[in-house]
Amino acid sequence: MLWHTFWVLVSFFSVIGLLECVLGVVELLSLWRVRAVQKIVLQVSLAGEEPNVEYLLNTLCLKSGRLDVGDREAVLEIIDAGLAEQTRKDVLQYCEKNPWVVFTADENNDIM
């Protein structure tokens, strides 16, 4: 009985892995069809205090990196919509380490 349960689990995860591979190939082919796009900018507006800002930025970089295929350049733009001072410093330090992350000020923000 234990042996059958093992093979059911192995089969289940094999099917999930196969589906993930097929979805990855379909996503890659769909992005290759669009040749006019040269640069992809993912804009994220942040406000307030975020204690785990580096984790958030790493996650956003991974998401934008999925769009970086072939000759396309993916850029993550962080817009300051009233960040706390410590969070702003953390974001600026992260931007210094990662050149594909750009930090800009919100034009509609009266503080800056």
Percent of the chain predicted with pLDDT > 90: 19
Residue in 48, 56, 51, 52 with CA at minimum distance from that of residue 82: 48
Eight-state DSSP code of residue 46? E
Q: d(Cα 51, Cα 57) in Å, to the nearest integer?
A: 12
More confident: 43 or 33: 43
b/e string for 15-44 if b means 16 or more Cβ within 10 A?
Answer: eeeeeeeeeeeeeeeebeeeeeeeeeebee
Query: Residue 24 is part of which domain span?
Result: 1-33
pTM listed for this prediction: 0.61
How much is the mean pLDDT over the chain?
Answer: 82
Q: Are residues 52 and 98 in the same domain?
A: yes
Q: Are residues 15 and 45 in the same domain?
A: no
Q: Are residues 2 and 18 in the same domain?
A: yes
Q: Is the pLDDT of residue 83 over 70?
A: yes
Q: Are residues 23 and 42 in the same domain?
A: no
